[in-house]
Structure 1
Amino acid sequence: MSRSFRPRVVRLAAGLAALALVAACGSGEDPDTTAAAATAPAGGFPVTVESCGHEATFDKAPGRVVLGWGTSIRTLEALGVADRVTGYVSGSNVGLPDGFTAKEVSPDFQPAREAVLAAAPDLFLANDENQVSGEEGTATVADLDGRAYVLGNYCLKNPAPATIDVVYQDVRNLGAIFGVPDKADAVVADLTRRVTAAAARRRSAPQAKVALVQIYDGKVYALSGSYYNAILQGAGMTNVFAGIGENFAEVSAEQVLTSAPDGLFVAYDEPNGDAAAVQAARSAFAATPAVRNGTVFGINNAEISGGGVNIVALIEQTAGQLYGS
Structure 2
Amino acid sequence: MPRRPLTAVPAAVPTILVTALSVVALAGCGQGPDAGAAPASSASSASSDGAAGAGTSYPLSLDNCDTRTTVDAAPQRVVTIKSSTTEMLLALGLGDRIVGSAFLDGPVPDSLADAAAEAPAVATPLSDQVPGSEAVLGLEPDLVYAGWESNLTADGAGDRATLAKLGVATYVSPAACKSPESMPDPLTFDDVFAEIGEVGEIFDASDAADDLVAAQRDTLASVTRDDRGLTALWYSSGDDIPYVGAGIGAPQMIMDAVGLDNVAADVHDTWTSFSWEQAIEADPDVIVLVDATWNSAEQKIERLESNPATARMTAVREGRYLTVPFPASEAGVRNVDAVVDLSDQLAGLDL
- Count of matched residue pairs: 297
Q: 1:229 aligns with which of 230, 239, 252?
A: 252
Task: Rate the CA distance shift 1:163–1:27 in 2: closer, same or farther, 3 A.
Answer: farther
Aligned to 2:27: none
Task: Rate the CA distance shift 1:261–1:165 in 2: closer, same or farther, 3 A.
Answer: same
Deviation track 1:49-107 (CA, whole Å, cap 9, x = no partner) reads: 3320122222321111111113533222222212211101224x633564252053334
Task: Rate the CA distance shift 1:299–1:278 in 2: closer, same or farther, 3 A.
Answer: farther
Instruction: Confirm or deny that 1:94 pairs with 2:117.
Output: no
Question: Which one-letter code corresponds to 2:103 in the other structure?
Answer: S
Q: Distance in 2 between matches of 1:270 and 1:126?
A: 22
Contact 1:268 1:300 in 2 (8 A): yes
Task: Rate the CA distance shift 1:170–1:27 in 2: closer, same or farther, 3 A.
Answer: same
SS of 1:210 mapped into structure 2 = strand
Contact 1:130 1:156 in 2 (8 A): no
Aligned to 1:104: 125
Aligned to 2:189: 164
Task: Rate the CA distance shift 1:34–1:208 in 2: closer, same or farther, 3 A.
Answer: farther
Question: Which one-letter code corresponds to 1:76 in the other structure?
Answer: L
Task: Find runs of 4+ consecutive structure 1 residues off by over 6 angstroms.
Answer: none
Deviation at 1:241, TM superposition (A): 0.6
Q: 1:268 aligns with which of 291, 301, 316?
A: 291
Question: Which one-letter code corresponds to 1:193 in the other structure?
Answer: D
Deviation at 1:121, TM superposition (A): 1.5
Deviates further, 210-219 or 161-170: 210-219
SS of 1:38 mapped into structure 2 = strand
Task: Rate the CA distance shift 1:250–1:201 in 2: closer, same or farther, 3 A.
Answer: closer
Q: Distance in 1 between matches of 2:228 and 2:239?
A: 35
SS of 2:273 mapped into structure 1 = strand
Deviation at 1:129, TM superposition (A): 0.6
Deviates further, 308-317 or 49-58: 49-58
SS of 2:242 mapped into structure 1 = strand
Question: Which one-letter code corresponds to 2:153 in the other structure?
Answer: S
Q: Distance in 2 between matches of 1:287 and 1:300?
A: 26
Give the alignment of 1:190-269 within 5 angstroms.
190-198=215-223, 200-202=224-226, 205-224=227-246, 225-269=248-292
Contact 1:27 1:192 in 2 (8 A): no
Q: Distance in 1 between matches of 2:277 and 2:295?
A: 28
Question: Which one-letter code corresponds to 2:63 in the other structure?
Answer: E
Deviation at 1:300, TM superposition (A): 1.9
Deviation at 1:214, TM superposition (A): 2.9
TM-score by length of 1: 0.81
Aligned to 2:163: 144
Task: Rate the CA distance shift 1:36–1:323 in 2: closer, same or farther, 3 A.
Answer: farther
Question: Which one-letter code corresponds to 1:131 in the other structure?
Answer: N
SS of 2:134 mapped into structure 1 = helix
Task: Rate the CA distance shift 1:155–1:213 in 2: closer, same or farther, 3 A.
Answer: same
Contact 1:303 1:310 in 2 (8 A): yes
SS of 2:43 mapped into structure 1 = coil
Deviation track 1:247-283 (CA, whole Å, cap 9, x = no partner) reads: 2222221111111211111223207933222332344
In the alignment, structure 2 segments of 5+ residues that lack a partner are: 7-35
Question: Which one-letter code corresponds to 1:290 in the other structure?
Answer: A
Question: Which one-letter code corresponds to 2:45 in the other structure?
Answer: A
Contact 2:102 2:125 in 1 (8 A): yes
In the alignment, structure 1 segments of 5+ residues that lack a partner are: 5-16, 20-25
Contact 1:95 1:271 in 2 (8 A): no
Deviation track 1:185-243 (CA, whole Å, cap 9, x = no partner) reads: 22111111222222x152xx323211101342432122224222222122222211111
Question: Which one-letter code corresponds to 2:236 in the other structure?
Answer: Q
SS of 1:87 mapped into structure 2 = strand
Contact 2:85 2:146 in 1 (8 A): no
Contact 1:112 1:137 in 2 (8 A): yes
Of structures 1 and 2, the larger Rg is shown by 2
Question: Which one-letter code corresponds to 2:44 in the other structure?
Answer: A
Contact 2:249 2:271 in 1 (8 A): no
SS of 2:284 mapped into structure 1 = coil
TM-score by length of 2: 0.75
Aligned to 1:312: 336
